[in-house]
Amino acid sequence: MADVVTIDLGNTRLKLRRWSTRSAARPALVSAAELRVEDPVLENALASLAADRAVERVVLCCVASPAVEAALAERLEQHFGPRFAPRLDPRLAVEVRAKDRVGQDRLFAARGAWSLRRSAAIVIDAGTCVTVDALAPPADAALPPRFLGGAIAPGPALLADALARGGARLVRVEPKPGGPALGRDTEEALRAGVVVGLRGAVRELVLTIEREAVLERAPLFWTGGARALVCEPLLFPERANVVEPELVHLGMLSALGHEGPSGA
């Protein structure tokens, strides 16, 4: 096997990763880039990867608008032809209503968690939004793991923006981890409401979702660009916690048959 390129297009950023699958060991991260779709550097990066015949497969996870996804998929097809897989199956039993509306990032993050532990899991992905999802093992080892659904909440940047827009005398603060809950000025109070409040919301979602899913004390998997705001310090230090920034990418690799990285 040669190299695999995984692309995770979120609401604000495109995360591009190249993995080596040449050895019998697990895939190794070769390179990483974070860009915007409109960034001209992206076109150069895609052209360079397309010219490299060692790149055998390109896969996409997208939660941007359908129009943006279609435009990016067209560019990838032009560059990579049959090497591009436009709709990768996450290999999960999706046990929710309206399966086609579940965000691909949620599904691939869950698949990534499964590839690392092969167990039940609560997956917390903190970015533009914060998602908390439940993953259960299958009843039969021959079947795929079960994605049970979860919750979607606004992420820290969205919360900070909403406070600034909704309050005539409020300002937009930059969320930072580790601040006090007892704010001594308006900015500190806003930051406390965003960060400490969000941590409280995540704690409650984890506890309630795992109880409703009958997955008490399942391992917790943390990912996403804003993960430090909700998992540092750990909300559940007595539990098994896995912090994995590449969880969505690992899910895409797992869906292709590659089970996690051997290191960067």
Please give the Cα distance from 231 to 10 (Å, whole number): 21
The answer to whether the beta carbons of residues 210 and 218 sit under 8 Å apart is yes
Q: Write out the catalytic residue numbers.
A: 105
